[in-house]
């Protein structure tokens, strides 16, 4: 890949899914509706980000088992984002135009996203695969937890049902990525055990 294309990809992935947000935090004594809006906005943003993760496979190569998981989470995230957003009309309606994150939180998230993106684009081999799996373990855990938290106080039965489905799917995805990481760890241990030992 030439340097211009690499710069383009880095820039694209670094801003993927970002929207104009209102630096918060939430107004004091914000009611349940505003808190619900902010939570749904965060979940939708994260799902849309994950829907694009498969794009990494067009410029990086990982083993088929991990590539399959990446395509699976990208497809699941795209479908989940569309399904959730289609239910925002209500009742009661959801305003997902703002996340109400405070500016330091926005900057911290951007810094982490940029660092992760650069690490993935600069990595290869098993290091790339492990870094990619670790990033997906974090995000699947977050999505499952956020969906579960939103479901507890969701007055719409259809949205609550969708949130519960999202939680279940991402719990399963988390388990799948953890299983793959276990396979890699076992392989690394076996390689280390079989490596020739020095005279030392």
Indicate the domain borders of the chain.
Answer: 19-90+98-186
Q: Which of 10-19, 28-37, 83-92, 111-120 has the lowest mean pLDDT?
A: 10-19
Q: Determine the pLDDT at residue 27.
A: 60
The CATH number of the structural domain formed by 19-90+98-186 is 1.20.1260.10
Q: How far apart are the first and last CA of the chain?
A: 43
- Confidence band, pLDDT 50/70/90 cuts, at residue 28: low
Q: Determine the pLDDT at residue 1.
A: 40
Pick 77 or 1 by higher pLDDT: 77
Reported as a single tens digit per residue, the pLDDT across 42-69 is 999 999 999 999 999 999 999 999 999 9
Sequence-separated (6 or more) residues with CB below 8 Å from residue 78: 47, 51
Q: Determine the pLDDT at residue 55.
A: 92
pTM of the model: 0.81
- For the residues 132-157, what does the mean pLDDT come to? 96
As a whole-number percent, the residues of the chain with pLDDT over 90 amount to 58
For 48-86, letters b (16+ CB in 10 Å) and e give bbbbebbebeeebebeeebbebbebbbebbbebbeebee
Reported as a single tens digit per residue, the pLDDT across 74-102 is 999 999 999 999 999 989 999 998 887 88
């Amino acid at each position: 890949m030439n340097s211009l294309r690499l710069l383009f990809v880095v820039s694209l992935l670094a801003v993927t899914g970002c929207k104009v947000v209102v630096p918060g935090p939430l107004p004091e004594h914000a009611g349940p509706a505003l808190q619900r809006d902010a939570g749904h906005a965060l979940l939708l943003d994260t799902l849309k980000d994950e829907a694009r993760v498969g794009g990494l496979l067009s410029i990086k190569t990982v083993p088929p088992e991990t590539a399959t998981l990446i395509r699976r989470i990208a497809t699941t995230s795209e479908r989940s984002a569309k399904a959730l957003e289609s239910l925002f009309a209500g009742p009661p309606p959801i305003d997902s135009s703002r996340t109400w994150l405070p500016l330091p939180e926005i900057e911290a998230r951007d810094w982490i996203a940029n660092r992760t993106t650069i690490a993935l684009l600069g990595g290869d081999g098993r290091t790339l695969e492990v870094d990619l799996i670790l990033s997906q373990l974090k995000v699947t855990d977050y999505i499952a937890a956020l969906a579960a938290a939103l479901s507890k106080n969701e007055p719409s039965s259809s949205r609550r049902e969708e949130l519960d489905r999202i939680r279940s799917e991402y719990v399963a995805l988390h388990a799948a990525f953890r299983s793959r990481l276990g396979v890699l760890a076992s392989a690394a241990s076996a390689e280390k055990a079989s490596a020739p030992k020095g005279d030392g």
